[in-house]
């Protein structure tokens, strides 16, 4: 590895709607290194990547490639400059072969026809050069995820990329596939290709990267050697100063009222998970995306039915039917509100009351007065703005949409509320409001289970935190003892050594 820089950015700034998301970002990536970029959600990682690859235009600052000043206005410019991105959701065309995919859009032509032989030869040469386990004529639809990823990398390399950007490439890979990817990456490094590697997983950073840039709140807060740095140093830099706990609440936990999950297993995702969630407390579930968090709560709710193991509420088994569970007092705010949470073209009113017709109807007929009163009360109680019950929900801001979904359940006094990433895309003011509503519900004695990737939220809001890693519980933090750093370490599978229960 040389000291020569392949990419250097100088004081990159970017604002959206007047909010500055990048402040003077200086990124330096050397030739032939695997450089990691870490930071919490919203730290500005993806924004800087999008600027480098020409998806966004920067407000200010300069980009240098190989010491040369370059202007990147669109994806094409980035490709010209030798920058390639491997996206999380793969960009391959399933019905085509590896060769066809690699050359799609820039086929080698001979006498007006694609020169299949030549393209195949070049792909084979690339495969041989990097030692990939791929066949040029294989159809992508029949390949596994790891192979698809390799094909994607090959596609990037075929355009003579000097810098590969990988955005969380291991999310959908199994352990052995991940290892395969790392071997590939190391091979690339030996051949002199630089890689910018974005990940949340500390163990991967240790395993494969050379240096590490850490971002927080749109700024670079440090560049360290990732082979020698301590995990807690990294996490401390990511989080910044740990917020003082604002007076530890002692929740009024009712140990007689609980959901008990015993030996729950689901395919390859969850293995013998057991825990209890009590009435009166907010139970936080942490872990990385893909650790099985969403599947776990979906099982409890009854949306996923083919699990093994038992789930009981106060000793009685919980049904595997969503409708029955709702009648029994369950509620769920799903992970992606756009695809699973709300009904975009229906009114605020309809979105709120849709789960409560068991109370608002008689003999299958809606009691219009009760329905409208229910919605109005909910809109007022949970401060939905604008407070126009007939407005289609798609016209509200993200925060208010989320308020509506929460109001859907809170307005019917649910007994078990499951929240999956409840504050994604919600602005700070609304966030605080949502937390107040959740706490109020807990104080009434309800069981609240909250899945979150937001560490501050997880440690501040929940009374107890369980961290999932690799489909099973890794660590439990009781009595508000969870710190962001400890949770972050635990989700990466790096345990604070002293005992499982802090």
Specify the stretch interacting with another protein by CB under 8 A; choose among 27-35, 289-297, 364-372, 441-449: 364-372
Specify the stretch interacting with another protein by CB under 8 A; choose among 233-241, 338-346, 480-488, 491-499: 338-346
Q: Does 16 bind another protein (CB under 8 A)?
A: no
Q: Does 391 bind another protein (CB under 8 A)?
A: yes
Q: Does 326 bind another protein (CB under 8 A)?
A: yes
Q: Does 421 bind another protein (CB under 8 A)?
A: no
Residue burial 461-481, b: 16+ Cβ < 10 Å; e: rest = bbbbbbbbbbbebbbbbeebe
Question: The tokens 């820039």 sit on which residue?
Answer: 106
| Chain Cα centroid distance, residue 359 | 36
Q: Does 340 bind another protein (CB under 8 A)?
A: yes
Tokens of 489: 């370490």
Q: Does 106 bind another protein (CB under 8 A)?
A: yes
Angle, in degrees to the nearest 10, between helices 175-190 and 116-130? 100
Q: Does 55 bind another protein (CB under 8 A)?
A: no
Scan residues 112-171 and list those touching another protein (CB under 8 A). Answer: 112-114, 139, 142, 144-145
Rounded distance between C-alpha atoms, residue 184 and residue 256, angstroms: 53
Tokens of 159: 């355009």
Q: E strands, 46-145, where?
A: 60-65, 68-70, 83-86, 109-110, 113-114
Q: Are 483 and 458 in contact (CB under 8 A)?
A: no
Q: Does 361 bind another protein (CB under 8 A)?
A: yes
* Residue 159 or 217 with smaller CB distance to another protein: 159
Specify the stretch interacting with another protein by CB under 8 A; choose among 233-241, 253-261, 336-344, 460-468: 336-344
C-alpha gyration radius of the chain: 25
Q: Does 390 bind another protein (CB under 8 A)?
A: yes
Q: Which of 86, 101, 82, 84 is nearest to 140 (CA)?
A: 101
Site string for another protein, 165-184 (x = CB under 8 A): ---------xxxx-------
Q: Are 3 and 67 in contact (CB under 8 A)?
A: no
Q: Does 111 bind another protein (CB under 8 A)?
A: no
Of the candidates 33, 40, 100, 168, which one interacts with another protein according to CB under 8 A?
100
Of the candidates 386, 440, 443, 500, which one interacts with another protein according to CB under 8 A?
386
Tell me the sheet residues that pair with 219.
Answer: 216
Q: Does 107 bind another protein (CB under 8 A)?
A: yes
Rounded distance between C-alpha atoms, residue 291 and residue 280, angstroms: 26
Q: Which of 195, 186, 188, 190 is nearest to 165 (CA)?
A: 195
Cβ of 296: how many Cβ atoms within 10 Å?
29
Using CB under 8 A, list all residues that contact another protein: 75, 90-96, 100-101, 104-107, 109, 112-114, 139, 142, 144-145, 174-177, 267-268, 301, 303, 321-327, 332, 334, 339-346, 350, 353-355, 357, 361, 364-366, 368, 385-386, 388, 390-392, 394-395, 397, 408
């Amino acid at each position: 590895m040389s000291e020569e820089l392949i990419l250097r950015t100088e004081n990159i700034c970017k604002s959206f709607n007047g909010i500055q998301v990048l402040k003077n970002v200086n990124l330096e990536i050397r030739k032939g290194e695997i450089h990691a970029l870490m930071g919490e959600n919203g730290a500005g990682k993806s924004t800087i990547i999008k600027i480098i690859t020409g998806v966004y235009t920067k407000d200010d600052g300069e980009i240098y490639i190989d010491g040369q000043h370059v202007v990147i206005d669109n994806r094409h410019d980035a490709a010209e400059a030798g920058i390639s991105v491997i996206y999380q959701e793969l960009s391959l065309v399933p019905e085509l072969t590896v060769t066809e995919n690699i050359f799609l859009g820039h086929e080698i032509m001979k006498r007006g026809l694609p020169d299949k032989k030549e393209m195949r030869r070049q792909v084979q040469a690339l495969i041989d050069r990097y030692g990939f386990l791929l066949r040029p004529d294989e159809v992508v639809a029949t390949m596994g995820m790891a192979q698809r990823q390799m094909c994607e990398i090959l596609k990037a390399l075929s355009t003579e990329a000097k810098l590969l950007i990988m955005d969380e490439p291991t999310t959908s890979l199994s352990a052995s596939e991940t290892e395969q990817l790392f071997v590939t990456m190391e091979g690339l490094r030996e051949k002199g290709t630089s890689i910018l590697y974005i990940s949340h997983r500390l163990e991967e950073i240790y395993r494969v990267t050379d240096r590490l840039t850490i971002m927080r709140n749109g700024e670079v807060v440090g560049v360290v050697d990732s082979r020698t740095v301590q995990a807690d140093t990294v996490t401390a830099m990511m989080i910044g100063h740990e917020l003082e706990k604002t007076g530890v609440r002692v929740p009024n936990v009712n140990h007689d009222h609980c959901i008990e999950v015993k030996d729950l297993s689901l395919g390859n995702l969850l293995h013998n998970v057991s825990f209890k969630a009590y009435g009166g407390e907010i139970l936080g579930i942490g872990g990385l995306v893909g650790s099985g968090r969403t599947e776990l709560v979906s099982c409890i709710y009854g949306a996923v039915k083919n699990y093994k193991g038992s789930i009981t509420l106060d000793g009685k088994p919980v049904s595997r039917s969503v409708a029955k569970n709702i009648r029994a007092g369950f509620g769920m705010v799903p992970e992606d509100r756009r695809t699973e949470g709300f009904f975009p073209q229906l009114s605020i009113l309809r979105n709120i009351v849709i789960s409560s017709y068991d109370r608002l109807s008689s003999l299958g007929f809606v009691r219009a007065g009760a329905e409208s009163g229910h919605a109005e009360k909910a809109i007022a109680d949970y401060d939905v703005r604008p407070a126009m019950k007939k407005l289609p929900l798609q016209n509200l801001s993200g925060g208010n949409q989320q308020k509506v979904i929460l109001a859907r359940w809170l307005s019917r006094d649910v007994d078990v509320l499951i929240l999956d990433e409840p504050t994604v895309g919600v602005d700070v003011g609304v966030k605080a409001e949502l937390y107040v509503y959740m706490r109020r519900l807990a104080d009434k004695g309800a069981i609240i289970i909250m899945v979150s990737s937001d560490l501050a939220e997880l440690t501040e809001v929940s009374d107890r935190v369980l961290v999932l890693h690799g489909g099973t519980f890794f660590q439990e933090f009781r009595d508000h003892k969870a710190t962001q750093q400890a949770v972050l370490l635990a989700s990466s599978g790096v345990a604070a050594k002293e005992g499982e229960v802090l």
